[in-house]
Chains A and B, each alone.
Chain A
Amino acid sequence: MSYVAAAAHEPRSFWTRYVWSQDHKVIAVQYACTAIAVGLVGLLLSNLMRLQLGFPGRFEFINAERYYQFVTMHGMIMVIYLLTALFLGGFGNYLIPLMVGARDMVFPYLNMLSFWVYLLSVIVLMAGFFVPGGPTGAGWTLYPPQAVLPGTPGSGAGIVTMLVSLAIFIVATTMGGLNYVTTVLQARCQGMTLLRMPLAVWGIFTATVLALLAFPALFVSAVMMMLDKTLGTSFFMPSLVSLGRLSAHKGGNPLLFQHLFWFFGHPEVYIVALPAFGIVSDLISVHARKAIFGYRTMVWAIVIIGGLSFVVWAHHMFVSGMNPYFGFFFATSTLIIAVPTAIKVYNWLLTLWRGDIHLTVPMLFALAFLCTFVIGGLTGLFLGNVSVDIPLSGTYFVVAHFHMVMGVAPLLVVFGGIYHWFPKITGRMLDDRLGQLHFWVTFLGTYLIYFPMHYLGVLGMPRRYYEHAGYQFIPPSAHALNEFISVVALTVGAMQLVFVVNLAWSAVRGRPAGANPWRAASLEWFTPQSPPAHGNWGPRLPVVYRWAYAYSVPGAPQDFIPQNAPPDAGGFEPGPEPLAQRDRAGKPGVRIRQGGRPRHAYRRARHGGSR
């Protein structure tokens, strides 16, 4: 959007500045605050579950019905309303325009609407706690038929509020997604080619495309289940006897719901993971003072993972039964997706190799992500195999796997990202000591929680059970382990309050950060004002001459070269050889194209070396 257009929606009052704001930065903070608030509710629910699992029967108010309601709401809140909203709505909104050199999102009004519709979805979701019968307790996958049958907690108004909330959330995500994709494609500043965008933008962009294509599956399944519930249709509901009475439904296909749900559900894993991959790449590069290793392969890996994520969904349904050839196909495609993922892990390690590693709090979280993601990913290889998945599918092994790989790992990146960009957002640093405390307790704590769960799973301890007493195959030591896990979970939960306190305190009293406290090279750190003013760039947009990873360039006066430093500064991205050869030939015509490559930059890089 032009400077004039950006000025047109410049805030002129408290309401337009902080409430009905069309500024992407304010909307990002609104998204993040709402997501963190609802995430704290999800965290509280998980702690209540752990109280029951660690100390069964000790807390009378946690009966079986409430336990299942806690499980369901915890899962849905964390996956959809916290992680998806925070990565796309929070990080996406804040970072995309600043990192690509835009003044704002291309559709600011739609962007504002996106947040308010998201907030509405959260309000409807939370309303589920107050409707008769409480929220649904059908499990976060909401499988029919039990999700709508009497006997399941919250099968009345609870499931309805959940489905309505999901439908509203998907509308909000679509509004936001249209903005993110169009902004990346259309609003990049001069010189910002697609292959100069930071990997954080690539991750968010690809995840947004995934969200736009995958969320319709959830929308379709939510609407059809809603009709089954309210109008008595039989899309998913089979003919059955429930509580001694023949239901009015007939012929519906519950497996159809599972296919639709997981066609959304597996890309959802990568909707959360891809932004995390991108952000962590940037954190590692900045805090290791080294260019990201294999930038182009990192980009292609993100895109390929995104594409493959649409052809693996049925590995969540091995126990539902399927044609063995399908099982073979989905097991194979699941294992194939490990290849680009492994490439990313190797590239992160090679970026760290012989880097000037600064163990700042964001870097600690980035390194913790690497460990956690690798371990969570390795257990995914187990579960991708049909013959291993079937005995483990109903156990705590799966709980451990998905919490490590798509719960804890992305959350560690969320924390790392917040510690990294908080100075940009507020102009102040987060308190380092509280940050270190938060990191170590969270990192070690989550390992103490989820590592033992693998053993519980191998023992055969079933997940989804309210109580595990009276099963001979579960030894007393497993119960002791559950107590231990619960105590650690409560500790880790409490530590997140320290993080929230740090956010609130540092936003007001934190040490002033200056314009670029991490000495980063990417564009968002070079706005005329910090925190950036409305319109981001003042009267003139920036021009970009290089990628975002010009660190420790030999001969450079400092160990980073901003993306928008004049071409003489060097530090260009590795280019395709044919173009470099053309440049060596010394063709005249130094020019910079919109979103194109400044050719003189290559010539100087090749002839004059890095300066």
Chain B
Amino acid sequence: MTAGSALPLQPGAGPARAQAVGIGLWVFIGVASALFSLLLLAFALRMNGSDWAPVAMPWQSWLATASLVAGSLALQAAARAAEAARPVQALHWLLVGGACAALFIGLQSWAWQALQAAHVLPAANPAAGFFYLLTAMHGLHVIGGLAGWAVTVPAARREADRPSAASLGRLYQPASATWRIRLCARYWHFLLAVWLLLFGAMGWLSPDFVRLVCGTR
């Protein structure tokens, strides 16, 4: 029998770990995509009911959308800064991205309160039920993202506290914060894409259009 190298050929630390977590995130994004696709499909199919009454999107949801767009841009800036060995800048953008996501959750909760104040309750009509369901599902995924972000912030902070890349020159090695920030950015972009789809569907998808696509009109 032959044995291989004692070097860490498998993910435990360093680039291999980053790659493993990256694959894991892609797989999770696949699962979440399946979940939201099915929810959207159910939303579209349920529209055929005679009791369907569209819900006007509360203005808070528009603000929430803007905050998620800002969060996604901030995380992208953080990832670029981390890759360019500017850890302090990366930390700042990372904090901004997380704050935007937290703001998104707050604004969505406000949107819920606004709807409830207008007596648009989950049981009122199926469109309202779907609004609460889809926003809750998406919000849970944002909260999950914030958990990952909370793990990344200390790593980014440690990285920002290290001697600067410029002073280390060729000795500088990017730390684990870089790939973590990159993965956070990827997940934030995914959350934004899903939200835009959900928001678009809830705001503008009409029963007539669904019937036209399904050929049942």
Contact = CB atoms under 8 A, between A and B. Distances in A.
Contacts of B28: 174, 178
Contact of A220 (B3, B13, B24, B35): B35
B168 interface: no
25 contacts: A2-B9, A3-B6, A3-B8, A5-B8, A107-B20, A107-B24, A181-B27, A185-B23, A186-B11, A186-B16, A186-B23, A212-B27, A217-B34, A223-B133, A227-B122, A235-B130, A251-B126, A259-B45, A538-B3, A541-B5, A542-B2, A542-B3, A543-B4, A545-B2, A566-B1
Contacts of B9: 2, 189-190, 541, 594
A41 B8 CA distance: 44
A216 B38 contact: yes
Interface in B4-47: 4-13, 16, 19-20, 23-24, 27-28, 30-31, 34-35, 38-39, 42, 45-46
A250 interface: yes
7 tightest Cβ-Cβ pairs between the two chains A and B:
A2-B8, A2-B12, A5-B12, A251-B51, A540-B3, A232-B123, A216-B35
Given A182-B20, A224-B133, A565-B1, A103 B38 contact: no
Contacts of A260: 38, 42
Given A233-B122, A253-B46, A187 B31 contact: no
B145 interface: no
B64 to A, nearest CB: 22
Given A2-B10, A540-B4, A541-B9, A178 B27 contact: yes
B54 interface: no
Contact of A182 (B1, B7, B27, B133): B27
B33 to A, nearest CB: 9
A598 to B, nearest CB: 10
Contact of B38 (A4, A186, A251, A263): A263
B173 interface: no
Nearest to A217: B38
Given A5-B12, A223-B133, A256-B42, A174 B31 contact: yes
Given A190-B9, A564-B1, A182 B49 contact: no
Interface residues of B, number: 41
B35 A219 contact: yes
Contacts of B42: 220, 224, 235, 256, 260
Contacts of A526: 1
Contacts of A224: 42, 133
Contact of B30 (A106, A190, A212): A212
Nearest to B10: A187
Interface of B: 1-13, 16, 19-20, 23-24, 27-28, 30-31, 34-35, 38-39, 42, 45-46, 48-52, 122-123, 126, 129-130, 133, 137
A263 B13 CA distance: 39
A6 B12 contact: yes
A231 interface: yes
A231 B31 contact: no
A271 interface: no
Interface in A143-196: 174, 177-179, 181-182, 185-187, 189-190
Contacts of A6: 12
A565 B10 CA distance: 21
B17 to A, nearest CB: 8
A540 B6 contact: yes
Given A227-B133, A565-B1, A178 B123 contact: no
Given A219-B35, A235-B126, 14 more contacts: A2-B9, A2-B16, A6-B12, A107-B20, A181-B27, A187-B10, A213-B30, A220-B35, A234-B51, A253-B48, A256-B46, A260-B38, A541-B6, A564-B2
Contacts of B16: 2, 186
A240 interface: no
A590 B16 CA distance: 25
Contacts of A233: 122-123, 126, 129
A407 interface: no
Contacts of B1: 526, 542, 562, 564-566
A420 to B, nearest CB: 21
A144 B28 CA distance: 30
B2 A543 contact: yes
Interface in A209-260: 212-213, 216-217, 219-220, 223-224, 227, 231-235, 248, 250-253, 256, 259-260
Nearest to B136: A223
A1 interface: yes
Given A182-B24, A220-B42, A224-B42, A1 B12 contact: yes
A102 interface: yes
A256 B19 CA distance: 39
A158 B137 CA distance: 24
A450 to B, nearest CB: 34
A251 B133 contact: no
Given A253-B46, A253-B49, A1 B24 contact: no
Contacts of B10: 1-2, 102-103, 106, 186-187, 189, 541
Contacts of A566: 1-2
Interface in A524-543: 526, 537-543
A201 to B, nearest CB: 15
A216 B31 contact: yes
Contact of B50 (A4, A103, A251, A537): A251
A220 B20 contact: no
B24 A178 contact: yes
A252 B11 CA distance: 48
A189 B20 contact: no
Contacts of B123: 231-234, 248
B51 A212 contact: no
Nearest to B49: A251
Nearest to A173: B31
A594 B16 CA distance: 12
A224 B30 CA distance: 21
Nearest to A219: B35
A304 B85 CA distance: 45
Contacts of B46: 235, 252-253, 256
Nearest to A5: B12
Contacts of B137: 223
B31 A186 contact: no
Contacts of A174: 28, 31
Contacts of B7: 2
Nearest to B216: A323
Contacts of A216: 31, 34-35, 38
A227 B137 CA distance: 13
Interface in A62-97: none
